[in-house]
Amino acid sequence: MQDTMMKVPLSLNHLLERAGKLFHGGQIVSRLPDKSYKRHAYGEFYRRARALGAALQGLGLQKGDRVATLCWNHHAHLECYFGIPAAGGVMHTLNLRLAPEEIGWIAADAQDRFLVIDDVLLPLYEKFKHLHAFERVIVFPFSGASVPAGFTGYEALLAGADPDGFAYAPHEEDDPVAMCYTSGTTGQPKGVVYSHRSTVLHSLAACMPDYNSARNTDVVLPVTPMFHANSWGMPYIAVMVGAKLVFPGPHLHPDDLLDLMTQEPPTLSLGVPTIWMTMIQTYEASLKPGSPNQGRWKLPAGMRSTVGGAAVPESLIRAFDRHGIWIMHGWGMTETSPVGTLSYPIAALQNASADEKYRRAALAGLPAPLVELRVRGDDGRDQPWDGKSAGELQVRGPFITGGYHGIGSPPDKFTADGWLRTGDVVTVDELGFTRISDRTKDLIKSGGEWISSVELENTLMAHPAVAEAAVIAIPDEKWSERPLACVAFKPGEQATPGELNEFLLAKGFVKWQLPERYEFIDAVPRTSTGKFWKLKLREQFPQ
Ligand code: AMP
C-alpha cells in the first residue's frame, strides 16, 4: 500500500517533455562559425532531440553506451544533452581545448562508442583518432559545408528519424545521463558520471532565487563551455524553465562576446573570471576618448552573472557593478555537478556597508541546498566556523559524485565516512560564507606560516595598472618557500615591484607576506577550461 507520495523516478526526459509542451515558442540562438546567427524555437529543439534519440536507437545504441561530443556551445550540442540520454545513452562531453593525446586517452578510457563532432573540429579529430576507434563519427555541419565522405551527417541522421514514434529508453533514476572528465591538473583525468536524479536535483537547487535565479523570462548566455562541467548545469536549467538561450558558438574573444551581448542582451550569463576580466577591460577601454571601439558596445545593465570555477577578485565585482551588472561568485567542481557554494546577499547583511557587501560577494559563499559542507583540519577534526580556522573543504550530497568511472572511490579523494575531499583549503565564517584560500598544492608555506596565493592575487588585481596576477611558491633555503608574483599589466600601464608592494601593504598585508620576487609577463597561461594555469608558471619559473 502506498500511503505517502508517488514513487516517480526523477528523469531528464521530463524536462524535455515539459519544454516541448509548455515552451515551444521559446527561442534558442546560436552563433555560427561565420558569426551569423541561427534561430530555433524550443518546439523544433524538442522534435530534433527526440529525432536524435530515435536515430541513435536505430544505430543500435544500447542502454549505458557512451556517446561523446566534441562541440562548441550551440543548439545541436543542446540536442545531444537531451537526445542521447533519451535513447538510454550517456553523453560524454570531450574538452576541445585539451591536447589531442589527452582527448584520445579520455575517449578510450570512457570507451565511447559514437562521437558527435562539429565539422570545424575535424582537423582536431584527425590528430587523436589513432588513439580510440569510435564505431561511428557523426558530423554536425556547423559551418554549413557538406559533410566529408566517410562520416555520418548529423542532419541526414535526424532527417531520417521519426521523432513522433520515438519511445524513451526505460530507466531508473540513478541511471547515468552524462559524463565529464576532471581537468587532470592534479594527475590523470578522472571520469565523473551524472545520473538522471543528480541532474534533476542539481537543476532545481542551482536555479533557486539565491543561486542562479533562472526564470522563464530570462535570456541566458552560457559562455562556460558545454564541455566544462555541463556548462555548470545551465543548459538543463534553461530548458527546465524555458528561458531563451543564446549560445556564443566558437566566438569567445572579448570583442565577440561584447558584440553578442549588444546584439542579444542577456539577463543571465556565466563564465570563468579570466574571460570576465578581459571583457570588462576591453569594454572600459572602449569608453576612453579616441578608442576605435567607442560606442560599439552596450553592456546589458541589470544582467546577473554567475562567475566561478576560479577565485573572483573583489575588483572584478566592483568593476561590473559600476555598469549595473551583479556578479554572483560560485565555487564548484566537475565532481559537484558543479554548483557547490554561491555568494548572495543575506538578510543579516542588509544593513552592512557597501564595502562589506563587496567583500562578502567576493567570498565563495553559502552551500547550495542539499550540499553539506565541513572543514577538516590537519588533526582530522572539524574546524569551527569562525572565519579563521582553515582546513580541507569536504562535501557530501545527492549531486556530488560518490566515485569515478572505473576507479571507484580512492581514499585520497573520499573519506572513510563518505565525503568528497575537494583538495581546496578554506575557512568558513559565522554566517556560513566559505572563503577559498588555495588548492592544497598551491599553498605557500613561508617560515612555517601559510600565505594565501589567492589573496595576494586578488589584491594585486585591484591595482589600477594590473590586468592579471598569479602567485606561485618558489623554494627558499631560509624560509622553505616564498611567493613569486607573475603580473601582466593593462595595455599602456606599468608599475614597479616597489609600487606593487606599497599597494599590498596599504591593503593590509604584512611585510613577510609580500612577494619575494615579481615576474612581468604578457598574460597568465590558461588551462583548458580558461583558468589561470599555475602549473605552467611553476615550470616556467622553477627557481
Ligand atoms: P574543475 O572541476 O575543473 O571545475 O575544477 C574545480 C576546482 O576549481 C576546485 O576544486 C577549486 O580548486 C577551483 N575553483 C572552483 N571554483 C572556485 C572559486 N570560486 N574560487 C577558487 N577556486 C575555485
Could you report the per-residue pLDDT of 253-276, keeping only the tens digit for each? Answer: 999 999 999 999 999 999 999 999
For residue 424, the CA-to-ligand 1 centroid distance in Å is 8
Q: Is 512 part of the annotated catalytic residue set?
A: no
Query: Which distant-in-sequence residues (6+ apart) come within 8 Å of 272 by Cβ?
Result: 224, 307, 308, 309, 310, 529, 530, 531
| pLDDT score recorded for residue 82 | 98
**Residue whose CA is at the smallest distance from ligand 1 atom 8:** 309
| 168 within ligand 1 shell (Cβ under 6 A) | no
| pLDDT score recorded for residue 447 | 80
In this predicted model, what pLDDT tens digit does every residue of 92-131 receive, in sequence order? 999 999 999 999 999 999 999 999 999 999 999 999 999 9
| 98 within ligand 1 shell (Cβ under 6 A) | no
In this predicted model, what pLDDT tens digit does every residue of 465-516 receive, in sequence order? 999 999 999 988 888 889 999 999 999 999 999 999 999 999 999 999 999 9
Whole-prediction pTM value? 0.93
Per-residue b or e along 186-212, where b marks 16 or more CB atoms closer than 10 Å to that residue's CB:
eeebbbbbbbbbbbbbbbbbbbeeebb
Per-residue cell: 30: 546560436
Q: Which amino acid is at 393?
A: L
| 273 within ligand 1 shell (Cβ under 6 A) | no
**Residue whose CA is at the smallest distance from ligand 1 atom 23:** 310
Average pLDDT of the segment spanning 190-219: 97
For the chain, give the percent of residues with pLDDT over 70: 99
| 529 within ligand 1 shell (Cβ under 6 A) | yes
| pLDDT score recorded for residue 186 | 57
| 332 within ligand 1 shell (Cβ under 6 A) | yes
Rounded Cα–Cα distance for residues 155 and 141 (Å)? 8
| 392 within ligand 1 shell (Cβ under 6 A) | no
Q: Is the peptide bond before 338 cis (omega within 30 degrees of 0)?
A: yes
Average pLDDT of the segment spanning 343-351: 96
Average pLDDT of the segment spanning 300-322: 96
* 111 φψ region: left (φ > 0), alpha (ψ -120 to 50), beta (else): left
| 310 within ligand 1 shell (Cβ under 6 A) | yes
Task: For cell 599590498, name the residue.
Answer: 504
| pLDDT score recorded for residue 221 | 98
| pLDDT score recorded for residue 378 | 86
| 221 within ligand 1 shell (Cβ under 6 A) | no
Q: Is 182 part of the annotated catalytic residue set?
A: yes
| pLDDT score recorded for residue 185 | 61
Our separate counts of H helices and E strands in the chain read: 16, 25
| pLDDT score recorded for residue 450 | 82
Q: Is 331 part of the annotated catalytic residue set?
A: no
Tell me the best of 93, 314, 327, 331 to mutate to test the pocket of ligand 1, counting ligand atoms within 8 Å of each CB and taking the most: 331
| pLDDT score recorded for residue 516 | 94
| 337 within ligand 1 shell (Cβ under 6 A) | no
Which member of 38, 129, 450, 502 is catalytic? 450
Q: Residue 439 CA: which ligand 1 atom is closest?
A: 12
| 97 within ligand 1 shell (Cβ under 6 A) | no
Distances (CA, A) of 327 to 56, 269, 467: 40, 9, 18
Rounded Cα–Cα distance for residues 253 and 259 (Å)? 10
Do 308 and 368 form a contact (C-beta atoms < 8 A)? no
Which member of 445, 449, 496, 539 is catalytic? 445
Kindly tell me if the per-residue pLDDT of 199 is higher than 80.
yes
Q: Is 481 part of the annotated catalytic residue set?
A: no
Rounded Cα–Cα distance for residues 505 and 383 (Å)? 29
For residue 331, the CA-to-ligand 1 centroid distance in Å is 6
By the 10 Å C-beta count (0-12 exposed, 13-18 middle, 19+ buried), 462 is classed as middle
CA 421 to chain centre: 19
In this predicted model, what pLDDT tens digit does every residue of 505-534 receive, in sequence order? 999 999 999 999 999 999 999 988 888 888
> Which pLDDT band, with edges at 50, 70 and 90, does 184 fall under?
low
Query: Which distant-in-sequence residues (6+ apart) come within 8 Å of 247 by Cβ?
Result: 28, 29, 30, 31, 72, 73, 74, 75, 77, 78, 222
| pLDDT score recorded for residue 443 | 79
Kindly tell me if the per-residue pLDDT of 187 is higher than 80.
no
Which member of 79, 264, 335, 481 is catalytic? 335
In this predicted model, what pLDDT tens digit does every residue of 371-395 receive, in sequence order? 999 999 988 999 999 999 999 999 9
Rounded Cα–Cα distance for residues 164 and 149 (Å)? 30
Sign of CA dihedral 460, 465, 466, 467: positive
Rounded Cα–Cα distance for residues 125 and 200 (Å)? 32
Element (H, E) at 64: none
Per-residue cell: 435: 572563503
Instruction: Transcribe 480-540 into DSSP letters.
Output: EEEEEEEEEEPTT----HHHHHHHHHHTT--GGGS-SEEEE-SS--B-TTSSB-HHHHHHH
Kindly tell me if the per-residue pLDDT of 542 is higher than 90.
no
Average pLDDT of the segment spanning 410-426: 95
**Residue whose CA is at the smallest distance from ligand 1 atom 22:** 310
| pLDDT score recorded for residue 194 | 98
Query: Which distant-in-sequence residues (6+ apart) come within 8 Å of 401 by Cβ?
Result: 192, 193, 194, 335, 336, 420
Mean pLDDT of the chain: 95
Distances (CA, A) of 371 to 17, 337, 395, 491, 509: 28, 11, 7, 42, 33
In this predicted model, what pLDDT tens digit does every residue of 420-445 receive, in sequence order? 999 999 999 999 999 998 887 777 88
For residue 292, the CA-to-ligand 1 centroid distance in Å is 36
| 331 within ligand 1 shell (Cβ under 6 A) | yes
For residue 441, the CA-to-ligand 1 centroid distance in Å is 13
Which member of 69, 72, 105, 182 is catalytic? 182
For residue 332, the CA-to-ligand 1 centroid distance in Å is 6
